[in-house]
Structure 1
Amino acid sequence: MERAKRYALSWSGGKDCMMVLDKMKKQQMDVVCLITTAPIETGRTFGHDEKMELIEAQGNTLDLPVHFIRCRYDHYTEDFIQDLNTLKESFSLDGIAYGDIYTDAHFEWGENTAAAAGLKAIFPLRAEPVKAAGMLEEFIDTGYKAIVIRIRKDRLTSDFLGKQLDWSFAEKINETTCCPMGENGEYHTFVYDGPLFQKAIPIHTGKVIESDATYRLELSLS
C-alpha cells in the first residue's frame, strides 16, 4: 500500500493558511510541518512582520513543528529553496501547500520553488476572484477566530485594525473596493483560536505602527 503524501504548509499565521490546513485535515491529507520565512534583517516574519514567538505559539497549539527559513531579502528565493531541500529530507516531503487564491505571480513562484526542490506545489484555495466573498464567509463559518493586524493605507482606514473576522467585518469589507479575502495585501490577520487549536492563544494588542505603506497592530502573548 502506497504511503500517504506528506506536505509542508507555507505559514504566515493568517486566515488563508489556516483555511488550507483545515481543508487538508478534513481531506485527511498529511501536513507534517509549517514553514514561515523570517528575514535575518528583521527577526520577524516576512509575510506580516509578526513576532516569531506568536507563530511558535500557533505551532504548539496545532501540534505541528514550525520551521523558520532565516532568509535574506536579496537572496530570498535561493534561501527558500535551500531550506526546502533540507526539509524534504528531514520530513520525507512530497509537496508543499500554499494559501494563494488567484494571483498568477504567486502560483508561478510557488510552483518554481517547489520544483527546484523536487516537490509538488498545491494551492487548495485556488479560485476565481469572484469567489473571494464566499471564501471569507466560509472562513467565518468554520469557527476560527482571527484579528486584523495589518492594513494597506491606500486601501483601508486604520479603524480596521483589531477587528475580528466576523459577519460585521464581512459586511464592512464588502462595502469597499478591496478583495474580501485581502488577496492583494489589503489586510492581514492572525488566527488565535479555532477547531484545530488545542487551546486559544492568549494575545494582547499593543500600539499601532505606521510605515510608508501600512498600519500594523502590534501583538504580544498575554
Structure 2
Amino acid sequence: MRKKVVLSWSGGKDSCLALDVLIKQGYEVACLLTTVPKEIGRTFGHGEKKELIQLQAKSLSIPAEFIYCTFEDYSERFVSDLRKIKDTYGITGIAYGDLYLDGHREWGEKTAAEAGLDAVYPLWMEEKDSLKALKAFAESGYKAKVIRVREDVLDSSWLGKELNQDFVSKIEDEPVCPMGESGEYHTFVYDGPLFYKSIQLDSPVVIQLETTKKLEFGEFRLAEK
C-alpha cells in the first residue's frame, strides 16, 4: 500500500521538485496544500493569485486545498485544517519542499506531529548542494519563471527569467543561495513532465511591494501541449 501524503505547495520550483521526487519514490500525493493569509488574499509563500495555483492543480490532476488564516493564527489554523484534511483524504503525512533551513523543518515537524502526521522532506540536503539542485531542476523538463525578487539582493531585471542553464550560470555570480532558499527569488512552474496541460502566462506587469518586486500576469489559461 502506497503512503498517501499532502504536499505543501507554493507553486514554485521547490514544491514542484518535491512532487516529482515523491511520485518517483512511490508516494500518492492526495492534494496540494496552500496557505492564504486573509490580510492579503494571496498565497503566503509567493503572494501569488489563487487562480494560478488552481490552474496548476488542474493541470497536474491533483486537488488543491487552501488554508485561510491570519498572520497571528497561522500555525494554529494550519494544524486545525491539516487535521480536517487528514480525515478527508486519509493521509499519513505532509511533505514539504524545504531544502536546508533547520528552523523551517522544526516548524514543519512540530505542526505535522500536532496533526498526527509524519513530516516528509524529499529534497532535504546540505546548503552546499543547492547549486546542484538548481541544475537538476534546469535539466528536469519543468519550466518556471522568476515571479518575485527581494530588492536588497536582486534587481527587477531577474523578473520573468526562465530557470534554464543560462539562469544557473548567472545566479552563480550573485550573493544569494542558488535556489533562493532565503526568499531571494520566487518562481512559478507552468509546464513539465507531470503537467497534462501547460499554463499560458500573458500580459505581465511589474508591481512594487514592500521589500520585493512581483511579476503579475493579467491573463493566464491552460493550453494544450
Common fold: TM-score over 0.5: yes
SS in 2 for 1:125: coil
CA drift of 1:205 comes to 4.3
**What is the match of residue 12 of structure 1?**
10
**Structure 2 CA distance for aligned equivalents of residues 85 and 29 of structure 1:** 20
**What is the match of residue 35 of structure 1?**
33
CA drift of 1:206 comes to 2.0
SS in 2 for 1:143: coil
SS in 1 for 2:17: helix
Q: Report whether the alignment pairs 1:204 with 2:202.
A: yes
**Over residues 169-220 of structure 1, what are the superposed CA-to-partner deviations in whole Å (9 max), with x where a residue is unaligned?**
0011000111000001000000000000001011114211112310111124
**What is the match of residue 221 of structure 1?**
220
Q: Extract unaligned runs of 5+ from structure 2.
A: none
Question: Alpha carbons of 1:169 and 1:162: their partners in 2 closer, same or farther (altered >3 Å)?
Answer: same
**Over residues 72-92 of structure 1, what are the superposed CA-to-partner deviations in whole Å (9 max), with x where a residue is unaligned?**
111000010010000000000
* Aligned 8 A contact 2:86 2:92 in 1: yes
**Structure 2 CA distance for aligned equivalents of residues 134 and 19 of structure 1:** 13
**Structure 2 CA distance for aligned equivalents of residues 70 and 126 of structure 1:** 27
Q: Extract unaligned runs of 5+ from structure 1.
A: none
* Aligned 8 A contact 1:6 1:32 in 2: yes
Per the normalisation by structure 2, the TM-score is 0.96
* Aligned 8 A contact 2:3 2:26 in 1: no
**What is the match of residue 172 of structure 2?**
174
**Counterpart of 1:15 in structure 2: which amino acid?**
K
Per the normalisation by structure 1, the TM-score is 0.97
**What is the match of residue 108 of structure 1?**
106
SS in 2 for 1:32: strand
Question: In percent, how many aligned pairs have the same letter?
Answer: 50
Range 155-164 or range 24-33, more displaced: 24-33
CA drift of 1:104 comes to 0.7
Choose the corresponding residue for 1:195, options 171, 193, 196.
193
**Whose strand proportion is higher, 1 or 2?**
2
Question: Alpha carbons of 1:205 and 1:111: their partners in 2 closer, same or farther (altered >3 Å)?
Answer: farther
CA drift of 1:25 comes to 1.0
SS in 2 for 1:49: coil
**Structure 1 CA distance for aligned equivalents of residues 3 and 197 of structure 2:** 28
Q: What CA RMSD, in Å, does the superposition of the two structures yield over aligned residues?
A: 0.9
